[in-house]
Amino acid sequence: MLGGVFKKVLLVLLVVVVIQNWGKIERVFNPSQVVSEQTRASARVVLYSTEWCGYCKQIHRFLDQKGIPYQAFDIDKDAQARKAYEALGGGGIPFVDVNGTLIREFSPEKITAALK
């Protein structure tokens, strides 16, 4: 009986360790998603989004997890941001301007590629 409890405790600890180190594990299995420190420093990323958009929240999370600096504008709440978004062609959200490359969807792969 004690062995079963011990196995469960070890499993919980393993899960915690994996969650805490997910970024390192992800880089091993998906090196194309790795963003270098130099790339982060020179990144010019502008995110046009809304509060209610689920994909917008995922892009916020992705950029935060990768440590990529960005400016975020809510086009529902900011009239100037709405004008800038429309001037770039709009066409849906999330809308990301990465170093001049316009990405009109949730695509971590395209964002990473545009940063290089």
Which sequence spans correspond to the domains of the chain? 1-31, 35-115
Please say whether the structural domain 35-115 has been given the CATH code 3.40.30.10: yes
Look up residue 74 and give its two tokens.
């809510």
Look up residue 21 and give its two tokens.
């180190």
pLDDT, mean of each 10-residue run, the chain (116 residues): 74 75 61 52 84 94 91 95 92 92 93 89
pLDDT at 25: 59
pLDDT at 38: 54
**Long-range CB contacts (< 8 A, 24+ apart) of 77-80?**
77/51
Residue appearing with tokens 């390192």: 24
pTM greater than the 0.85 cutoff: no
